Every structure is written in C-alpha cells, then in structure tokens.
Amino acid sequence: MSSNILEDFMKLAEFAAAIKKHPRTVQRWCQTEGLPFTRNGKEITLHVPTYRQWLMGRMSNVRHERPTRARKIKPDAMKS
C-alpha cells in the first residue's frame, strides 16, 4: 500500500498542463460538464482515474454530419 494517499490526485493547474488544456477550460468542465473534482481548501484537485472514467463516458462513435439543405421543389414537378 502506498504511503501517499493523494498520489492519484493532481492540482488543477498541473492537471491542465498534463492534458495540454488551459486551466480555465478544465475548471469549466468541472462547473458545467460534470467533471468530478474535490477541493483541498481553495485548491481544486482532480482524481486522475476518475477523470479517465469521465472521459470514457463521453466517448462516442457517432459521426456528426453537417445538415443538408432542403431541396426546393419546382412547381412543374408538383403537377404529376
């Protein structure tokens, strides 16, 4: 058993640097996207294994295509 109980946790700033995101982006994920976090005093910390689970839960294999424009029907085509 490890002697450091916080070894799986990272401060927000170092976590953001590790995943190459701005700290405000990660903070926004915590506030609006449901990324779990905890506070140690005023410092936001993130549990790395929980982040991995959160990220896996957001994965999608759906291909997003741009919506197509509706075609205009010519008046002559409607007579048939």
Q: How many domains is the chain partitioned into structurally?
A: 1
In a domain, residue 74? The reply is no
Taking only the tens place, the pLDDT of each residue in 48-69 is 999 999 888 888 776 667 666 7
- Report if residue 64 sits inside a domain: no
Is the residue at 66 inside a domain? no
- How high is the pLDDT of residue 67? 67
- State the CATH number of the domain containing residue 33: 1.10.10
- Contact 16/26 with Cβ under 8 angstroms? yes
Residue 5, domain extent: 1-58
Q: What are the start-end ranges of the H helices in the chain?
A: 12-18, 23-28, 48-57
On whether residue 77 sits in a domain, the answer given is no
Q: Is the pTM of this model over 0.85?
A: no
Q: Tell the burial category of 51 from Cβ atoms under 10 Å away from its Cβ (0-12, 13-18, 19+).
A: buried
Q: Tell me, yes or no, whether 16 lies in a domain.
A: yes
Question: What pLDDT, on a 0 to 100 scale, did the predictor assign at position 62?
Answer: 67
